[in-house]
Amino acid sequence: MTLIQVTDLRRTFEVRRKEEGSRRRHRVEVEAVRDLTFEIAAGEMVGYIGPNGAGKSTTIKMLTGILVPTSGHIRVAGVDPSRNRTALARRIGVVFGQRTSLWWDLPLRDSFDLLQKIYRTDPARHRANLAEFLELLDLGELLDTPVRQLSLGQRMRGDIAAALLHDPEILYLDEPTIGLDVISKGRLREFLRSLNRERDTTLMLTTHDLQDIEALCDRVIVIDHGTQVYDGTLAGLHERGGSTRTLVVDLVDEVAPILIAGAETRRVEGPRQWLSFPADASAAPLVAALASSYDVADLSIQEPDIEDVIRELYSRPPAG
């Protein structure tokens, strides 16, 4: 069943810009999003990625009804978001990564209580959801702590619980893991996976972190300069973008560039060497091969950068 349907979506902004050589500011029309068409089925988990300023937030804001499209059509759960914003709000949950919708000076509990009232969630349902989310998100002990005293990670979990208490069919997450430490990120991903599994909640998230996508999304939509440049699996994206991961190896001694099957040595600096290998290949056999023929002191793996992947996507001719 199609839950989100976007057809020929376009949004422009008028901005004033100083042009070179001229002291006057001119009005320029900028296309934040253009010719966007995609469908998302109920129960999907879709990563929506792209560089800064690509139009990710603009799209999410149109899908939630905050911004009115310049042209094109959107149907979310059967309605036009900007015309039925308030009604649609009951059926969706939204989390904007860097701002909170919780009450700064009051305990978490108060924000949750208010949400129950303004969403008019059935009280029993609310209690059950709250108990479950407190458990899964490890918020139980923080319920009576004023929001201003929570850490960024705790607040983000609080915001996610707040966005889910009314059983939304769709959850939009705008940069949910930004600024979080590795453990918080991991927990959050685990929670979102179980949410999708247990409740069949449709998830759409924008992110800078490819690991979010790897952990969560079967499908990725890539947008750049307002247009869609890719729609498919993450593996397919890596393949098309030819993206690579990097194995950073610290050896005990300085040696000649490592020669090993399945990887390519890119850089050597003293005892440290950088080896790149295809992003969809496993690192384990490489590490094993390395350890058997070299004295390895330390290892780390660098994930491909979204910007790099997208750059690659452009520099290669489209395959097929």
Partner 1 sequence: MVDAAVAYYRIGSLWVRASMAYPASFWMMAVGSFLMTGLDFVGIWILFGNVDDLGGFSLTEIGFLYGATGLGIAFADLFVGRVERLGQMIRFGRLDTMMTKPVPLLVQVCADEFALRRFARVFQATIVFTWAATYVDWTLPRALVAVEMVVSGSLIFFSLFISLACIQFWTADSSEAANAFTYGGNTVTQFPLTVFPSEIVKALTFVVPIAFVNWYPALFILGREDPFGLPSALQLASPVAAAVMLAVSALVWRTGVRHYRSTGS
> Quick check: 82 binds partner 1 (CB under 8 A)?
yes
Helix axes 123-136, 152-164, angle to 10 degrees: 150
> Quick check: 314 binds partner 1 (CB under 8 A)?
no
CA distances to 156, 163, 202, 276 from 195, rounded to whole Å, are 16, 12, 9, 35
Site residues for partner 1, window 44-73 (CB under 8 A)? 52-58, 61, 64-68
Site residues for partner 1, window 83-142 (CB under 8 A)? 85-87, 89-90, 92, 94, 96, 99, 101, 103-106, 110, 114, 117-119
| Minimum gap (Å) between residue 302 Cβ and partner 1 | 27
Say which amino acid occupies 228. Q
Cβ contact 90:165 at 8 Å: no
Site residues for partner 1, window 259-288 (CB under 8 A)? none
Strands of 175-226 (E only): list them: 202-207, 219-224
Residue nearer to partner 1 on the CB measure, 59 or 243: 59
Residue nearer to partner 1 on the CB measure, 17 or 266: 17
Tokens (6 digits) for 158 = 């609080």
Integer-rounded Cα Rg, in Å, for the chain is 23
Cβ contact 179:152 at 8 Å: yes
Dmax (CA) for the chain in angstroms is 68
Tell me the number of residues near partner 1 by CB under 8 A: 36
Residue nearer to partner 1 on the CB measure, 56 or 189: 56
Place of tokens 């490592």: 258
| Minimum gap (Å) between residue 155 Cβ and partner 1 | 14
> Quick check: 204 binds partner 1 (CB under 8 A)?
no
| Minimum gap (Å) between residue 82 Cβ and partner 1 | 7
Cβ contact 93:170 at 8 Å: yes
Cβ contact 217:207 at 8 Å: no
Interface with partner 1 (CB under 8 A), residue from 32, 150, 165, 171: 32
Residues that bind partner 1 (CB under 8 A): 13, 32, 52-58, 61, 64-68, 82, 85-87, 89-90, 92, 94, 96, 99, 101, 103-106, 110, 114, 117-119, 146
